[in-house]
Amino acid sequence: MNGPDTQSLIAFLNEAAAYFERRDIHGEDGAFWSNVANAANCRKVAARLSQVDALDQERDGFASLCAGLRADLAGIKSAAKALSDPDCCFDGNNIVIRCESHGDAIKRMRVLRDAIERAPR
């Protein structure tokens, strides 16, 4: 429910509350309490709409962050798969990854490291 429409509604409710607070009651006790209640209700609804608007904006921010994290994860998975697709084996203290050349091995590692580096910490 975010956007300018919500902000306009909040502004309207606050203006309505201000109207009720300054409205002449012509000495009527009932009108006084009616104005007090109307102003309070307008302010409560405006405050709640403001909270909902803030939560909507936060949700949109989280959705954007999640999309970025999913893309980062996809990049890391793709790079890790390209690195580990050839059969790996353990040779003493080293893991041996079969590659076409030394340059190919370096490229595969660089792609994985770059994908990991782009991921938020």
The predicted pLDDT at position 28 comes to 87
pLDDT, tens only, 90-105: 677 877 777 788 888 7
Please provide the distance, in angstroms rounded to a whole number, between the alpha carbons at the two ends of the chain: 31
Name the pTM for this structure.
Answer: 0.52
pLDDT, tens only, 25-38: 888 888 889 999 99
Grouping H, G, I as helix, E, B as strand and the rest as coil, residue 28 is: coil
- Mean pLDDT, the chain, integer: 83
Domain ranges, residue 24: 4-118
- Where are the strands (E) in 1-121, listed by range? 88-91, 94-97
Could you give the number of structural domains in the chain?
1
Provide the pLDDT confidence category of residue 44 given band limits of 50, 70 and 90: very high
Distance CA 96, CA 93 (A): 10
Distance CA 42, CA 107 (A): 63
More confident of the two residues 99 and 9: 9
